[in-house]
Amino acid sequence: MDLKGKVVIAQGGGPTSVINQSLVGAVLESRKFPQVTRVYGALNGVEGIMNERFMDLTRETTHNLERVAATPASALLSTRVKPDIAYCKEMFKVLQAHDVRYFFYIGGNDSADTVRIVNEQAIQQDYEFRAIHIPKTIDNDLVLNDHTPGFGSAARFVSTAFMGLNLDNRALVGVYIAVIMGRNAGFLTASAALAKKYPDDGPHLIYLPERAFDIDQFLLDVKDAYAKYGRCIVAISEGIKDKFGKPLITNLVDTVEKDAHGNLQLSGSGSLGDSLTALVKEKLNIDRVRSDTLGYTQRNFIGAISDVDSNEAREVGEKAAHFGIWDNVDGSIVIERTGYYSVNYKLVDLSLIAGKTRFMPDEFITPEGNNVTDAFKYYARPLVGSGFPQPSQLRAPMAPKILDIHGKPFHS
């Protein structure tokens, strides 16, 4: 028997360039089913549910939904609230009062855990209810997924940014350090490697949270790269840790702010890059050393949206409606790679995704721990989409010199 009632869709955590594709996919597919009485969007994620801030997307035009789908960041706004069981109980009461039978939450592993808890409340109350977690994260750290929507576009931004940074650094040599998002997983930082075309292209060094970071070894690596190439470009994850598992930023900066979850604020300042820049200048006596923290630009840059990422984000939203409404089941949607390059979608139990973190596989990281392998490039290249830029270098021969060291013509 068809389960009749409302659909509620929410977006949580950090926005991405393609998160609205998932939203619109879920909205448009849900509106096709006669048993769906209304499709609501909760403003500010779970906070919107608690405060009954529902936008009736049943009454939004298809034309405008399609325009929103191509717009980065969370159209329904987002939240950093991580609900506990008590919060979810109250949230479920609101959903029940509004006769919500389908709950689709777009987010990362914390969002999957929220979906799991809310679903358990429905089971305990013997309330017919279907809950689907729709994957989203630029960190690419959801277990069981080959990759997650949002990562491909963020990786496209990072890799194309490094193309430009490499050209700049080649024109005016020095050491350049870029700090990239990634608290526990280094996929996004690793994507800087996709910028390399010529043998001497940067980034020359890549440091990831999956490997312990040693400052002395870092300085030696920079020194060697600078001696080899006459310059050095470094891509480094904000979440790099020392051999004791302590975030490096806490060793370099006296005071580090924390977010609402108690996590260190890694992207809120340029402290890590500034500290490493100062060390390179002091210890290696290199004058021209610069750093940037790419920050929030990585998540929502409208000029670097991957078509592959956009299409897959749309489909996971559509699949949420199919699994929840058509198949009448709960779970988390997972992306599987089925070839080079194709994907399939399946549904897994929420407990297999919730609260878990996926890390870079060992085969993606060089033995030295300061770069990535060709296996990673093979894995990541399709995800950044078509029309990937290809910078070129001049290759004309040099004209012969005609003056000797004294400024006089040869053979005079």
Gap between the terminal Cα atoms of the chain: 100
Which residue numbers belong to the known binding site for Mg(2+)?
A: 109
Measure the CA–CA gap between 47 and 245, rounded to whole angstroms. 33
Question: Is beta strand 100-107 parallel, antiparallel or unpaired with respect to 205-207?
Answer: unpaired
CB of 214 closer than 8 Å to CB of 272: no
What Rg do the C-alpha atoms of the chain give, in angstroms?
Answer: 24
Question: Is beta strand 100-107 parallel, antiparallel or unpaired with respect to 130-135?
Answer: parallel
Question: Is beta strand 205-207 parallel, antiparallel or unpaired with respect to 175-180?
Answer: unpaired
Tokens 């650094």 locate to: 169
Tokens 């870092």 locate to: 218
Containing H/E element for 135? strand 130-135
**Which residues, in sequence order, are CB contacts of 407 under 8 Å at separation 6+?**
none
Tokens 């990281």 locate to: 365
CA dihedral 291, 293, 298, 299 (to 10 degrees): 180
Measure the CA–CA gap between 115 and 107, rounded to whole angstroms. 10
Which residue numbers belong to the known binding site for substrate?
A: 137-139, 181-183, 238, 296-299
Positive/negative CA dihedral, 220, 221, 222, 227: positive
Q: Which residue out of 56, 126, 139, 292 is catalytically annotated?
A: 139
State yes or no: cis peptide before 341, omega within 30 of 0: yes
Alpha helices in 98-150 (DSSP H): 109-124
Does 146 qualify as catalytic in the annotation? no
Positive/negative CA dihedral, 276, 279, 284, 287: positive
Which residue numbers belong to the known binding site for diphosphate?
A: 14
Residues marked as catalytic: 139
